[in-house]
Amino acid sequence: MAGAMEMIMTKMNPMIRTTIAALALATCAGPAFAQSWDFGGGRSGDRDYGLAGRGVPILYPELRDSNRGRAFVMRNFDFDRDGRISPREAHAANRAFAEAAGQRRDRFDWDSRDHAYEGGDRREARDEGDRRDDQGAGWDHRAMRGYGFRQTARGAMLRLQEDVLFKTDSDVLRPGAVDKLRPLAGYLRSEPGVRVAIDGYADSRGTDAHNQDLSERRAASVRAALDEMGVVRARFTVTGHGEHDPVATNATREGMRQNRRVEVTLLGQRADRF
């Protein structure tokens, strides 16, 4: 029997033979989605997730019509990070959701799955299992979420206030500032293609020249700290803005505190990835 099958395969058109082999391999490989998915987005109080792209009509209603479903799609299946869902990405999302939800997709309990799903087995996504080796195999997802990235036209931006990084009127990093930057350095080591903009800002106290110089030195200090943690220096652009582009009024103490900041932007990246 085996010999007869081998003879048939030998005489078969090469293209058909390749197709049959691929199908057999897929059958033996088991579930294609035996990996972890992030079900944690879109919870009450989270931002609203939108969907765009030719693949949106393909998505199951359970994914299109709820913020939890839309977050699941965007956080896991926007493979090229362009903010749009292609038909290929939609089919991948449907397949993963169907595997997780089983027969009754309409009764899927998002709250009970506020953790990862792995090949049919549950796994907590926010425990140590979701942490990645910081030395190149991955990055610390929990710590990166903690930065509170915001979406800007340039990419995913995190804002670090002066009192987290520096003493007043100084460009010397506080001892705890390096620890604050460590997860970011781990991410950048794991994602060598991501380029970074570091922008320093000051409040309106002091002269324009002093504020400009201080903002430049502070941005450079953050770049130097990341450089010392193994992130290639050439990936950064560093700019000081002085007292320009405030995010709050300089007429109050709290407003000035908010304006003394360093912003780190992961160029071309989406904030909802984190």
Structure confidence by residue, pLDDT tens digits, 232-246: 877 899 999 999 999
DSSP E strand stretches across the chain: 116-118, 121-123, 150-151, 155-161, 196-201, 236-240, 261-267
Give the model's pLDDT for residue 264: 97
The domains located in the chain, with CATH, are 56-130 (no CATH), 141-273 (3.30.1330.60)
pLDDT tens column, 104-149: 888 888 877 765 443 433 333 333 334 433 333 468 888 999 999 9
pLDDT tens column, 17-35: 444 443 443 333 333 443 5
Query: What is the rounded CA–CA span in Å between residue 34 and residue 46?
Result: 27
Nearby residues of 108 by Cβ (< 8 Å), 6 or more positions away:
62, 97, 100, 101
Return the residue matching tokens 């509170």: 148
Give 187's pLDDT tier (boundaries 50, 70, 90): very high
Go through the chain and tell me how many residues it has.
274
Widest CA span in the chain? 90
pLDDT tens column, 206-234: 999 999 999 999 999 999 999 988 888 77
Structure tokens that stand for 86 in this block? 């292609």
